[in-house]
Each structure stands twice: as structure tokens, then as C-alpha cells.
Amino acid sequence: MTMPQPKARPDTDTGPAAKIRLDGVTKRFGAKTVLDGLSVAVGEGQSLVIIGGSGSGKSVTLKCILGLLRADAGHIWVDGQDVTTMSERERKTMLKRFGMLFQGAALFDSLPVWENVAFGLIQGRGVKRRDARDIAIDKLARVGLAADVGALFPAELSGGMQKRVGLARAIATEPEIIFFDEPTTGLDPIMADVINDLIVECVRDLGATTISITHDMASARKIAHTMAMIYHGRIIWSGPAAQIDQSGNDYVDQFIHGRAEGPIRMEVLKG
């Protein structure tokens, strides 16, 4: 009798260790099928990076897990609980354990930066404003923003600064599960690496389970335990981050090397 081997392809992994698992998730907008039976899983305390072309449904995948979009078919399990059949109340309880960095930062523009960061603490956890503010200033420092930025409004920040405030907000409550939708897009290379380190720390030191979306392969290599590539609404390859270069998959190779020529045809008119 041998122990079941950990499988290299987490989308077929059925062990209990999976913190989040998507199984055959389908999502359509009108006639357009964005996710077409997508399956992927991420283990507890693991960092999954999803790569894939623009418009391939990466952000939609995260929103389906959070319940912001309703999957048309398939199942999504978080800690063994099926999100797709949850009641509103159960979903609310579940979301308390999540942090999310939106692709467009999605900062509340009626609130100053520090209140944005402290929002989950004040509203979700009932932390006193004064204490929440201290925590917020501390989180801002973690993403390289000085304390005086806390008093500004989101509209007064650059795009990259907004992204970092969104990141500080996502990690402020130190959630168990954190989603990062393009955390380093719009940042300079040095700041991008600071953010990579921060995400690694979240996983290593806080034990968070993370799913990150990125187009930045340097960032992906740094933060991922596992990588998955999405194409035409499905995961066409997934495996340990170290094996991405030996995937043996032409689509993955083309993507990670950023070549215009290959099996993935961009729908552009050549002049």
C-alpha cells in the first residue's frame, strides 16, 4: 500500500488539501462563452499564478470564485464548501476570509487613502478608527507609500500608486486567501520587485493562499508555486512553476517568450 503521490497537475488533484478548486466552470456573457469548463485548484498556503492572453477570462475567473459573477455551470469549492450553491449569508461569511486586489484598483474615491486601506478593518472587523488608521499607515509603508499619502484622495494618486493602495487594502485584514489581479502592472521594475517580495511574504509568513494574475513573467516566476495557463476558456497547462520552461506546450512557450508567431493567433489585421 503506497501513499497517493502528489500529482503534478493540480486541476486533476482531488485530494482534500485543495483550498480552492474550480471544476468545469463555465461563464457566458450573452452569446460569448468566456470560461468553457475551466478546472484548476490551489492548495492551502500555495501561490497559484494564472497567465493567459488579454481577454481570456482571468479576471472573470476570480470574480466567479468571489461570487461577484455567477458561473453558468460547474462547481467552485473553497475549503470544501461549494460557492455556487451557497446562500447569501454563507457567502458573506466566506468573503470575510478573502482579500482582493482589483485590476483597476477599485479604490473608493469618496474616502481618503488611509480609510480605503482601513475599510475592511473598520467595517468588516469593527476595529476602532484610530487603531485601524495605524494599521493602514503601516500597510501603506509596506507597499512603499509614505504616511502623508494616507491623507490624499485616490484621484490625487498616480495609477501605480493607486495599484499599491489597492494592494495594501487587500492585505490589510491579513486574510487567509488573497487574489491579486495584475499586482505589478503599471509599476516600475524596482517597485514591481518590492511588490513581488510582499506577495511572497504574505504566502510564506502569513500562510495565505493566493491566486495572482499577471502578464509579467519575471513576477510570475518569483511568486508562483504553481502556474496555470488559460486559453479559450480552459486551463491548457498547469504545473509547478519551475517546469514552465519545460512545459512541452507550444502555446505556453509562445506566451512566456512573448512571440507573435506561434499557435496563438492574435486577431489583428496586418497592414
Ligand X SMILES: Nc1ncnc2c1ncn2[C@@H]1O[C@H](COP(=O)(O)OP(=O)(O)OP(=O)(O)O)[C@@H](O)[C@H]1O
Enumerate binding residues for ligand X (CB under 6 A). Answer: 29, 34, 52, 54-60, 103
Count CB neighbours of 182 within 10 A: 20
Cα–Cα dist 51/252, whole Å: 9
Q: Pick from Mg ion, ligand X, other proteins, none: which does 95 bind, CB < 5 to 8 A by kind?
A: other proteins
Task: Tell me, by CB under 8 A, how many residues bind other proteins.
Answer: 21
Cα separation, 4 vs 193, whole angstroms: 37
Q: Which of 29, 108 has the CB closer to ligand X?
A: 29
178 belongs to the binding site for other proteins (CB under 8 A): no
Q: What backbone torsions phi and psi does residue 62 show, to the nearest 5 degrees?
A: -60, -40
Of 127 and 220, CB closest to Mg ion? 220
| Binding residue (CB under 5 A) for Mg ion from 47, 59, 116, 219 | 59
Q: Are 29 and 10 contacting, i.e. CB atoms less than 8 angstroms apart? A: no
Q: Binding string to other proteins for residues 116 to 155, with x set by CB under 8 A, is what?
A: ---xx--xx-------------------------------
In the window 122-141, what residues touch Mg ion (CB under 5 A)? none
Strand partners for 230 = 52, 235
Told to check if 180 binds other proteins by CB under 8 A, we report no
Q: Which amino acid is it at 146?
A: A
Residue 198 touches which member of other proteins, ligand X, Mg ion, none, C-beta under 5-8 Å by kind = none
Residue 107 grid cell: 479604490
* Identified binder of other proteins from the candidate list 70, 92, 257, 259, rule CB under 8 A: 92
Q: What is the separation of C-alpha 36 from the centre of its chain, rounded to a whole number of angstroms?
A: 20
160 vs 76, 103, 165, 184, CA distance in Å?
Answer: 32, 11, 9, 8
Task: Provide the minimum distance between the beta carbon of 52 and ligand X in the complex, in angstroms, as a whole number.
Answer: 6
DSSP H/E element including 138: helix 129-142
Which partner from the list other proteins, Mg ion, ligand X, none does 164 bind, CB cut-off 5 to 8 Å by kind? none
Among residues 142, 169, 222, 234, the one that binds other proteins under rule CB under 8 A: 169
Q: Does 102 bind other proteins (CB under 8 A)?
A: yes
Q: How many residues line the site for Mg ion (CB under 5 A)?
A: 2
| Distance of alpha carbon 116 from alpha carbon 121, whole angstroms | 10
The nearest distance, CB 125 to ligand X, in angstroms, is 29
Return all residues near 200 (Cβ < 8 A) that are at least 6 apart.
47, 222, 223
Is residue 157 within 8 A of residue 163, CB to CB? The reply is no
**Contact positions vs Mg ion (CB under 5 A):** 59, 103
| Interface contacts to other proteins, rule CB under 8 A | 63, 66-68, 92, 95-96, 98-100, 102, 104, 106-109, 119-120, 123-124, 169
